[in-house]
Structure 1
């Protein structure tokens, strides 16, 4: 019997914890829990940063203000070093991506049965609390970045310039246009896929390890596996947020690079 009050085998326990609370059918299936927690975390950190900004002082700052300023300066420094262009959107976007993904990843450190147990008492049968362990969430964010890349590529270079970039790179000869188009389009489409799948793969794997520890070890010994993995996972959580942010900056920097000028 697990903490949810159900008699489950390790296999059914793992399956239960990897099942989303869903609505709809087929293509139109919506993972309600992933959407709920991602929106809740997003609004929470926006409210927090807004509150810190309103209360910010030029004197001796509090701990929370110091922490926020450190994150802002860290992201701003990476944008200045990486982004080759002039766009006021990039720094706020990078800051939002980094903090939002970091906080969503942090949900993986909550004991696997803690929130699902509370949800079970409220009559909710399934509940996954780590939005970034859901491929729909990570690919949606990656597609958002992809659309921005396309938008700025066309805005900065024009439709003709963007098409020319796809058709005449890497081989600047008319006879190589079909090969160039194939190569560049595949490379372009691979960006959102790799961006979303990298984040999903790492967070899903981390979630599975925590679930395996809870499923296979007795409750009194779970800390022997969960604590060391959680300490290591803090590094993974931070790196994945940083990588997603940096690749977003790099992709948008490439979109702003007009080689024809």
Structure 2
């Protein structure tokens, strides 16, 4: 009986760790037993929910801006303005130059990642159960930020912007000089400087993506373990306290990603 319970729990946990995937070569959804070793398979569920949450974010802010009022602002408008002012304050404190991109980019990163993280607070079986009943989908993950592919994709975009601002502000020659004459300002150390600076440059998107993924994946795993090992009537004893604590985690991880993006772009925009 105990071995059967352990086996069922193992299957339950393993089931929730699989993505609904799509093979780009055939444009067909891949079942749970398929373990592809190819570049042409995408995690369809993570991409789908990322797009849905992005559209919700855009529609929400468009609706607020369309119905905004200077004389009689509603509570939702005031709340949105507080978020915008909070982000603008962080950008002004950390980014010394004027840019029409940094503030909108920071708000997009903060809100979008927060919405992705917030999906972790929805009961782990709720949406997958509905999809299985109505559409026959065997497995589905609803937390995009718990997928390393999504976090790396966002980090790569930030990394491209870091390279772009380095080249725009410092020029190609200035950027090469920064890579070869820092931290030791002497010609004999240019190879060592280049190795150190390249490692430092590449570590930025890696640290951004792995930090977000690690925290959200660990949080999701705790919810899966609680649901898989405890009966439904006892799950609230652990899931409710963890969900309350996890609210701080999802908010903090969104803020950290935004702040580090501003800091990295600020560093890229300074001439040395």
| Cα distance in structure 2, aligned partners of 1:136 and 1:234 | 23
| Cα distance in structure 2, aligned partners of 1:47 and 1:104 | 16
| Cα distance in structure 2, aligned partners of 1:255 and 1:84 | 11
For 1:85, what is the secondary structure of its paired residue? coil
Residue in 1 aligned with 2:183? 170
| Cα distance in structure 2, aligned partners of 1:217 and 1:63 | 40
In the TM superposition, 1:195-234 aligns within 5 A as 195-234=208-247
Structure 1 gap ranges (5+): 1-7
Q: 1:60, CA displacement in angstroms?
A: 3.0
Residue in 1 aligned with 2:61? 49
Residue in 2 aligned with 1:149? 162
Residue in 2 aligned with 1:5? none
| Cα distance in structure 2, aligned partners of 1:124 and 1:226 | 26
Residue in 1 aligned with 2:96? 84
For 1:9, what is the secondary structure of its paired residue? helix
Residue in 1 aligned with 2:48? 36
Q: 1:63, CA displacement in angstroms?
A: 1.8
| Cα distance in structure 1, aligned partners of 2:155 and 2:128 | 28
- After the TM superposition, which of the residue ranges 16-25 and 229-238 deviates more from structure 2? 16-25
| Cα distance in structure 2, aligned partners of 1:44 and 1:62 | 20
Residue in 1 aligned with 2:248? 235
| Cα distance in structure 2, aligned partners of 1:101 and 1:63 | 23
Q: 1:168, CA displacement in angstroms?
A: 0.1
For 1:179, what is the secondary structure of its paired residue? helix
Residue in 1 aligned with 2:119? 107
In the TM superposition, 1:9-24 aligns within 5 A as 9-24=8-23
| Cα distance in structure 2, aligned partners of 1:101 and 1:12 | 30
| Cα distance in structure 1, aligned partners of 2:270 and 2:176 | 14
Q: TM-score, normalised by structure 2?
A: 0.91
Residue in 2 aligned with 1:159? 172
Q: CA RMSD in A?
A: 1.1
Within the candidate set 252, 256, 261, 2:269 is matched to 256
| Cα distance in structure 2, aligned partners of 1:214 and 1:62 | 40
| Cα distance in structure 1, aligned partners of 2:96 and 2:209 | 24
Q: TM-score, normalised by structure 1?
A: 0.95
| Cα distance in structure 2, aligned partners of 1:105 and 1:246 | 17
Q: 1:70, CA displacement in angstroms?
A: 0.9
Equivalent residue pairs, number: 253
| Cα distance in structure 2, aligned partners of 1:65 and 1:84 | 28
| Cα distance in structure 1, aligned partners of 2:203 and 2:39 | 22
- After the TM superposition, which of the residue ranges 116-125 and 130-139 deviates more from structure 2? 116-125
